[in-house]
Structure 1
Amino acid sequence: MAGLEVRNNRYNIILRFGGHRFVRSLKTSNEDAALAKKLRVEENVALVESGRLTIPEGADVMTFLLSDGKLDKKPIIKSSLTLQQLFLDFWDAMPIDNLEPNTIDMMKIHQRHLERVLGKRLIAQSLSQGVLQNYITTRSKEKTNRGTFLSGNTIKKEIVTFNSVWRWGVRAGKVHGDFPNKELRYPKSKELPVFQTWDEIERQIKAGASEELWDALYLDMNQIQKILKYVKGHARLPFLHPMFAFAAYTGARRSELLRSRLADIDLSGGVITLHEKKRVKGKSSTRRVPICKPLGMVLKQWLKQHPGTPFTFCHPDPILYSHRRTRNEENPLTRDQASCHFRKVVEGSDWNVIKGWHCLRHSFISNCASNGIDQRMIDEWVGHTTESMRRRYRHLFPSSQKDAMKLLFSKPK
């Protein structure tokens, strides 16, 4: 029924069964071991022919007979996928324009911390709740550039990134099982401070509060006019003043400023269309903001000297003095250039405490709230979707709270 042959000093078994000829290396040069495996195959063939053993459909016949019916195909030993390789595979599989560039940048920062603390060669499948808890504990003892300990919010974002990559790995067949993030313990998270005026923040810092409070600054309408006047007189690049005004009067994010095109501006209809990428998951969406009179005047003046590209904010010559000079083929301005030139125009002035474009967005929202504009309308203009976003400026809405408190503790008539 079965025979043996020697090739390259190793035994092969040859079997004719079911009208087919099978040859399989026995991976041994020992004759007695080869004869024992041959006898096993012949016994299993007899069991099959007697109906006491059934070969599954599509099974590897020789593997089945050599394993006494325990295996129906050759065992596949997968390579040990490392943490680093899991992330590399994730980025390789990422479709173009699936995530915002700043989201990708932040996720890659998280990746670097994960690889640094856990080790690039960590076997991904060996990940456990204990490994993640050790990561959280280690990160909680590290300090930021400002000298403060890392917040629970920051560490949670890193774990969320890892979770996203893990879930992709499960769907792609790279790893299996649930992400082991149940019952992890984090440092206490700090609620972001509500938006406050310049005077409020300055008073608290003089009393010993952290300089981080400037992140919650919003400018009132008088200050908005002053900073726009300052930028107009000090900006080296002509697009900066209209870009500042656009952000201050629409609440547009930095990425939305860079995506803005001339076709999105309808001066006659008095409305601007902003292109979003985060509000609706998996979709690009838009929102419309009315053009106020001051912004309309700035845009009309800017359009007279506009260089002629499709983008609202651009410059005819290569823009220098940015940390990264890589040119974006789709947009003449990069995120780095926008941030760099924001800092340069306020550097050395009283406005130097403003951290970036987001302050102008905060200011637009806060001024809308302070002037009693309906929250639903503000949400429509700025694209807010979560309660935590609204909470940071809700205290600015005119209300009867103070009057109610006075009434509660007023002297009886």
Structure 2
Amino acid sequence: MKQHITQAFVKRIECDNQKSKQEYYDSEITGFILEVRSSGAKTYYLRTKGADGKRVAKKVGDAKVMDIKSARVKAIKLKRAIEESTDTMVILDGKNKKNTTLNNADDSCITLGAFYEDCYLPHVKKHIKSYETNISIFKNHLLPVYKNTPMDEISKASIMKLHSDMVVKKKLAPATANKVLIFLSSAFNIAIDLEIDGISENPAKSIKEYKLNNAKERYITKAEASRLLEAINDTEQNIHLKYIVPMLILTGARRGEVLKAKHEDFNLNQLTWTIPTTKNGKKRILPITPQLLELYKSIPKENTPYLFASPKTSKPYVTIYTSWNSARTKAGLQDVRMHDLRHSFASALVNSGRSLYEVQTLLGHSTSTMTQRYAHLSNESLMSAASCAGSLVG
């Protein structure tokens, strides 16, 4: 079974009475194992594949003598040595085991490619919900440059050049270049936390990111909303679009939250919609307003748990862009993005006098930072209110 092996776990875990031994596979380092025996013995092992593709096992150390951090460091060095060596130490082929010699690992620091496979990838898959972006940045931008480079040889100057070249020479978006800094810095922090030999500093931590000005603010007016909904009703490409878009406007929910909504998440007695897992990994509960209730009841009920299931797959839509683009173009609103409906929801709340805290709660922002972008709207409302006093001296 998989387990995040900590020193506390090693100390308290005991073998079940009915078993002679149990193995716990570490969730951080692929192939790193804690074996616990009924005799009370606890041992760290490493299992991986050699360069010849054969399975290899190696004892790392006695868990009662070696602490977990030291065991991890040794396991990573052994893993790299085994996977890069043509010799095999212990070949596991079912019942037979063959002992041979493994070349001693040199003292060079682990390469970024090896660290990515052995440590970084298992870490992000466990701790980050949308880790596909991390993988994409590494595969497309970091590994092509640093895959075979020992991590202690990756310099600040080299990273700065990579960061600059992505924008200046490759003409990539500054936001993409910034992700390279963020993810590489995160990798070094993980390596430092694991006490990987040779890595004591993070060369990416003090490099300045590009300043971004991508907080586009587009709010639809009541007249634009009417035009958009009228165009959607005339669009036949997606039978659910005429329900999806009003739901986005009425709730301020994210597109993915609406597309994946299930009937079981709607409590019509308490008038609440529970979004089980949001972007920040937490559930969010939204009130079902009278207009939303009327909309919900009008959605055709089909033999599927989802509100909006594709007729082809009976599962949530992967994308609705084609039908959305057709409708917004027909309404003359080509510059309106689907995410702008969420902004418009927030704008309507703020301009109605609702507090930024209420907006933050309904939008599901984990911090107030994102919600602050709507602060200027409340200032405009206050200015309009304060201007009423002008009649006293006008």
TM-score by length of 1: 0.60
Q: Of residues 139, 142, 145 in structure 1, which corresponds to 2:166?
A: 139
Partner of 1:243: 244
Structure 1 pair 154/317, CA: closer, same or farther in 2 (3 Å)?
closer
Structure 1 pair 405/177, CA: closer, same or farther in 2 (3 Å)?
farther
Structure 1 pair 317/112, CA: closer, same or farther in 2 (3 Å)?
same
Counterpart code for 1:127: I
Structure 1 pair 159/346, CA: closer, same or farther in 2 (3 Å)?
same
Residue 364 (structure 1) aligned with residue 322 (structure 2): no
RMSD over equivalenced CA pairs, Å: 3.6
Partner of 1:86: 115
Residue 120 (structure 1) aligned with residue 136 (structure 2): no
Greater Cα offset, 358-367 or 113-122: 113-122
Counterpart code for 1:140: V
How far did residue 91 of structure 1 move?
Answer: 6.2
SS of structure 2 residue aligned to 1:255:
helix
Q: Of residues 292, 296, 299 in structure 2, which corresponds to 1:295?
A: 292
Partner of 1:333: 316
Structure 1 pair 134/383, CA: closer, same or farther in 2 (3 Å)?
same
The CA distance in 2 between the partners of 1:82 and 1:340, in whole Å, is 44
Identity of aligned residues (%): 18
CA shift digits 1:167-187 (9 cap, x unpaired): 334445656323212432444
Q: Which has the larger radius of gyration?
A: 1
Partner of 1:306: 301
- Structure 1 residues without counterparts, runs of 5 or longer: 1-56, 59-73, 194-214, 320-331
Partner of 1:77: 106
The CA distance in 1 between the partners of 2:131 and 2:117, in whole Å, is 13
How far did residue 131 of structure 1 move?
Answer: 1.6
- Structure 2 residues without counterparts, runs of 5 or longer: 1-64, 67-102
Counterpart code for 1:181: A
Greater Cα offset, 395-404 or 237-246: 395-404
Counterpart code for 2:367: T
Partner of 1:271: 272
Counterpart code for 1:93: P
Partner of 1:161: 183
Partner of 2:364: 383
How far did residue 225 of structure 1 move?
Answer: 3.5
The CA distance in 1 between the partners of 2:121 and 2:206, in whole Å, is 31
How far did residue 406 of structure 1 move?
Answer: 9.6
Residue 99 (structure 1) aligned with residue 80 (structure 2): no
How far did residue 389 of structure 1 move?
Answer: 1.2
CA shift digits 1:235-273 (9 cap, x unpaired): 422222222122111111123223321111123432212
Kept in 1: contact 2:265–2:275 (CA 8 A): yes
Kept in 2: contact 1:258–1:333 (CA 8 A): yes
The CA distance in 1 between the partners of 2:136 and 2:323, in whole Å, is 23
Counterpart code for 1:346: R
How far did residue 365 of structure 1 move?
Answer: 0.9
CA shift digits 1:3-59 (9 cap, x unpaired): xxxxxxxxxxxxxxxxxxxxxxxxxxxxxxxxxxxxxxxxxxxxxxxxxxxxxx99x
Kept in 2: contact 1:260–1:275 (CA 8 A): no
Structure 1 pair 122/346, CA: closer, same or farther in 2 (3 Å)?
farther
Residue 285 (structure 1) aligned with residue 282 (structure 2): yes
The CA distance in 1 between the partners of 2:126 and 2:109, in whole Å, is 30
How far did residue 116 of structure 1 move?
Answer: 6.9
SS of structure 2 residue aligned to 1:288:
strand
SS of structure 1 residue aligned to 2:370:
helix
Structure 1 pair 272/192, CA: closer, same or farther in 2 (3 Å)?
same
Kept in 2: contact 1:277–1:285 (CA 8 A): yes
Structure 1 pair 402/301, CA: closer, same or farther in 2 (3 Å)?
closer
Structure 1 pair 274/263, CA: closer, same or farther in 2 (3 Å)?
same
How far did residue 86 of structure 1 move?
Answer: 3.1
SS of structure 2 residue aligned to 1:276:
coil
The CA distance in 1 between the partners of 2:354 and 2:146, in whole Å, is 51
The CA distance in 1 between the partners of 2:240 and 2:127, in whole Å, is 29
Kept in 1: contact 2:262–2:305 (CA 8 A): yes
Counterpart code for 2:305: P
Counterpart code for 1:99: I
Counterpart code for 1:333: P
Q: Which runs of 4+ in 1 moved over 6 A?
A: 405-408, 410-413
Kept in 2: contact 1:84–1:115 (CA 8 A): no
Kept in 1: contact 2:112–2:143 (CA 8 A): no
Partner of 1:257: 258
Greater Cα offset, 382-391 or 339-348: 339-348
The CA distance in 1 between the partners of 2:124 and 2:266, in whole Å, is 30
The CA distance in 2 between the partners of 1:122 and 1:344, in whole Å, is 48
SS of structure 1 residue aligned to 2:147:
coil
Kept in 2: contact 1:307–1:315 (CA 8 A): no
SS of structure 1 residue aligned to 2:273:
strand
Residue 351 (structure 1) aligned with residue 351 (structure 2): no
The CA distance in 2 between the partners of 1:240 and 1:233, in whole Å, is 11
SS of structure 2 residue aligned to 1:385:
coil
Kept in 2: contact 1:271–1:289 (CA 8 A): yes
Q: Matched residue pairs, number? A: 292
SS of structure 1 residue aligned to 2:369:
helix
